[in-house]
Amino acid sequence: MTLDEVQRLGLAKGILVVLAIIATGVMVAHGRWPDNKGFSDSFELIKIGALPLVTLVVSFYFPKSHG
């Protein structure tokens, strides 16, 4: 299976949107219930794992131009 450039960009946007929704929900929940261990652990996972992943995806699909 091969994807052209437009399809790859659409896939990347979809992944970023889903990650943004999940990260926002976890951050709001952590802010609302800071003593909840589950939300605190999820917040740490998002902070340590998901945000660097988003940076990697964005930098791959939008590389610095050499112009």
Note whether 12 and 61 are within 8 A (CB).
yes
- Answer yes or no: is 32 within a domain: yes
CA 50-37-29 angle, 5° bins: 60
- Answer yes or no: is 7 within a domain: no
Q: How many domains does the chain have?
A: 1
- Answer yes or no: is 5 within a domain: no
- Answer yes or no: is 38 within a domain: yes
- Answer yes or no: is 44 within a domain: yes
- Answer yes or no: is 41 within a domain: yes
pLDDT at 65: 59
Note the pTM of the prediction, 2 decimals. 0.69
Residue 18 main-chain phi, psi, to 5 deg: -65, -45
* pLDDT, tens digit, 9 for 90 and up, residues 41-57: 988 988 888 878 878 87
pLDDT at 21: 92
- Answer yes or no: is 66 within a domain: no
| Average predicted confidence (pLDDT) for the chain | 83
- Answer yes or no: is 50 within a domain: yes
If one compares 26 and 50, the residue with the highest pLDDT of the two is 26
Q: Could you tell me the residue range of the domain that residue 53 belongs to?
A: 23-59
Question: What share of the chain has pLDDT > 70, as a percent?
Answer: 88
